[in-house]
C-alpha cells in the first residue's frame, strides 16, 4: 500500500505540472529554469550523496554492464522489427528510440532513492551513467539515419563529457574509492538538495506533456508502451536472473529499465526531423501507464 501511495503521489505531482503549464504559471521560460535546477543541482547532488562513500568495485561489475547492454540492444532490435512498417520515417524513428530510451535520471534514480536502501541507489546511479553513455549516441544515430537528418554525433558525445550527471557520478565514485571523509553537515545539505530531484523533475515532465487526442495512433503508441515499460523490464528480469547478480543489482537494474520514455527523446526528435507530436504523446502515455507497471515491478521485487 505504501508503494502505491508513493506512486500515486508521483502521478499527482506530474499532473500538477501539466495543470501549471495549462494555466500559464509554468510557461516555457519558467519550465526551463526549473529544469536547470533539477538537472544541474538536485540530480547531481542525489548521485554524489549516493556514491561518495562506496568504492567503485562494490558497485560496478562485468555482469552489470553486460546485462545492461544486452537488454538495451535487444529491446532496440525488437523495436526496429516491430516499428519497421510505420507510415513515415519520422514516426518510425521516434517509435524505435522511445521503445528503449529510458527516463533514468528524472524518474528512475529519484524513485529508487525514495523506495530502496542506499546501496541500491548507488548501483542505480552507476546504471544511469552506463546506460546514458550508450542510449544517447544510439538515439542520435537512429534518428539521423532513419530520417536522413544531419547530426553532429561527435559533438553530442563530447557534450557527454560535461554532463553534470556523469561528472557527479565520477566524482562520487572517485571519492568513495579513495576513502575521503565528508563532514556530516555537507552530506545532510546535499541529501536535502538531492531529495528535490524527483518532485522538480516530475513538475518539468508534466509541464512538457501535450496531447492531441484526435490525432492519436493507438496502435503505434500502444506498441511503444508495450515495448518500453512491459517488454524491457521483463527482459531485464530474465537477463539479470540468468546472470545471478546480487539482490541490490537485480532490483536497481529491473526498476531503472522499467521506467518510461525519457522526455529528452522529444527534444532529439524535434532536432532530427522526427515526429514531434507523436514523440510528446508517447512520453505522456509511457509515463502515465508506468505508474501501474512500476507498482507491479516494485511489489514483485520486494
Angstrom distance (rounded) from CA 244 to CA 260: 25
Residues 224, 28, 197: CA angle, nearest 5 degrees = 65
Which DSSP category does 85 fall into?
T
- Each of the 302 residues of the chain gets a pLDDT tens digit; together they read 567 777 777 778 878 888 888 888 888 888 888 878 887 888 788 888 877 777 777 788 999 999 999 999 999 999 999 999 888 899 999 999 999 999 998 788 888 988 898 899 999 999 988 998 889 889 888 988 888 766 565 566 666 667 777 788 788 878 877 777 777 777 788 888 877 777 877 787 777 766 655 567 788 999 999 999 999 999 999 999 999 999 999 999 999 999 999 888 877 887 787 888 888 888 888 988 998 899 899 999 98
Spatial contact of 261 and 102, defined as CB atoms under 8 Å apart: yes
In sequence order, the 6+-apart residues with CB closer than 8 A to the CB of 260 are 102, 103, 107, 228, 229, 283, 286, 287, 289, 290
Q: Residue 137 has what pLDDT? A: 85
Tell the residue number behind the cell numbers 507497471, with chain if given: 293
Taking the C-alpha atoms of residue 121 and residue 113, their distance in angstroms, rounded to an integer, is 5
Alpha-carbon distance of 178 to 27, in angstroms, equals: 44
Q: Looking at the 3D structure of the chain, how many domains does it have?
A: 1
| Cell 547532488 belongs to residue | 45
Q: Cβ(171)–Cβ(48) under 8 Å? A: yes
Q: Pick from 167, 162, 168: which is nearest to 190 by CA?
A: 168
Give the model's pLDDT for residue 156. Answer: 61
Residues with Cβ within 8 Å of residue 185, at least 6 apart in sequence:
none
CA–CA separation, 157 and 3 (whole Å)? 37
Report the CATH number at residue 231: 1.20.1530.20
Pair 70, 238: CB distance under 8 Å: no
The H-or-E segment that residue 263 falls in is none
Domain enclosing residue 112, as ranges: 2-208+215-301
Which alpha helices (H) appear in the chain, and where do they start and end? 2-23, 28-37, 43-51, 56-59, 62-82, 89-98, 109-115, 118-147, 153-160, 164-178, 184-194, 197-208, 218-226, 232-242, 247-257, 264-271, 276-301
Rounded (10°) angle between helices 276-301 and 264-271? 160
- Where does residue 11 rank: exposed (0-12), middle (13-18), buried (19+ CB within 10 A)? middle
202 contacts: CB under 8 Å, gap ≥ 6: 10, 13, 14, 17, 106, 107
Place of cell 530531484: 197
Spatial CA neighbour of 187 closest among 58, 48, 59, 40: 48
Q: Which of 104, 80, 81 is nearest to 93 (CA)?
A: 80
This prediction has a pTM of: 0.83
Amino acid at each position: 500500500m505504501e508503494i502505491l501511495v508513493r506512486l500515486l503521489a508521483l502521478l499527482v505531482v506530474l499532473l500538477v505540472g501539466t495543470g501549471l503549464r495549462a494555466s500559464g504559471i509554468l510557461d516555457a521560460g519558467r519550465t526551463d529554469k526549473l529544469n536547470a535546477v533539477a538537472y544541474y543541482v538536485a540530480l547531481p547532488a542525489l548521485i554524489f550523496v549516493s556514491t561518495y562513500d562506496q568504492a567503485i568495485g562494490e558497485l560496478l561489475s562485468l555482469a552489470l554492464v553486460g546485462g545492461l547492454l544486452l537488454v538495451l540492444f535487444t529491446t532496440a532490435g525488437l523495436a526496429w522489427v516491430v516499428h519497421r512498417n510505420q507510415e513515415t520515417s519520422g514516426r518510425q524513428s521516434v517509435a524505435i528510440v522511445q521503445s528503449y530510451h529510458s527516463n533514468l535520471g528524472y524518474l528512475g534514480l529519484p524513485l529508487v532513492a525514495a523506495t530502496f536502501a542506499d546501496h541500491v541507489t548507488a548501483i542505480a546511479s552507476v546504471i544511469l551513467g552506463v546506460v546514458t553513455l550508450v542510449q544517447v549516441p544510439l538515439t542520435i544515430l537512429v534518428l539521423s539515419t532513419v530520417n536522413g537528418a544531419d547530426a553532429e554525433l561527435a559533438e553530442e558525445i563530447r557534450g557527454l563529457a560535461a554532463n553534470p550527471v556523469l561528472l557527479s557520478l565520477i566524482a562520487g565514485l572517485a571519492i568513495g574509492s579513495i576513502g575521503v571523509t565528508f563532514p556530516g553537515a555537507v552530506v545532510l545539505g546535499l541529501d536535502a538538495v538531492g531529495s528535490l530531484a524527483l518532485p522538480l523533475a516530475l513538475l518539468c515532465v508534466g509541464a512538457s506533456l501535450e496531447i492531441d487526442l484526435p490525432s492519436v495512433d493507438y496502435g503505434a503508441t500502444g506498441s511503444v508502451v508495450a515495448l518500453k515499460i512491459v517488454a524491457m523490464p521483463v527482459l531485464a528480469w530474465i537477463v539479470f536472473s540468468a546472470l545471478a547478480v546480487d539482490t541490490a543489482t537485480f532490483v536497481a537494474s529491473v526498476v531503472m529499465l522499467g521506467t518510461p520514455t525519457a522526455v529528452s527523446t522529444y527534444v532529439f526528435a524535434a532536432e532530427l526531423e522526427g515526429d514531434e507530436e507523436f514523440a510528446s504523446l508517447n512520453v505522456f502515455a509511457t509515463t502515465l501507464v508506468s505508474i501501474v507497471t512500476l507498482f507491479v515491478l516494485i511489489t514483485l521485487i520486494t
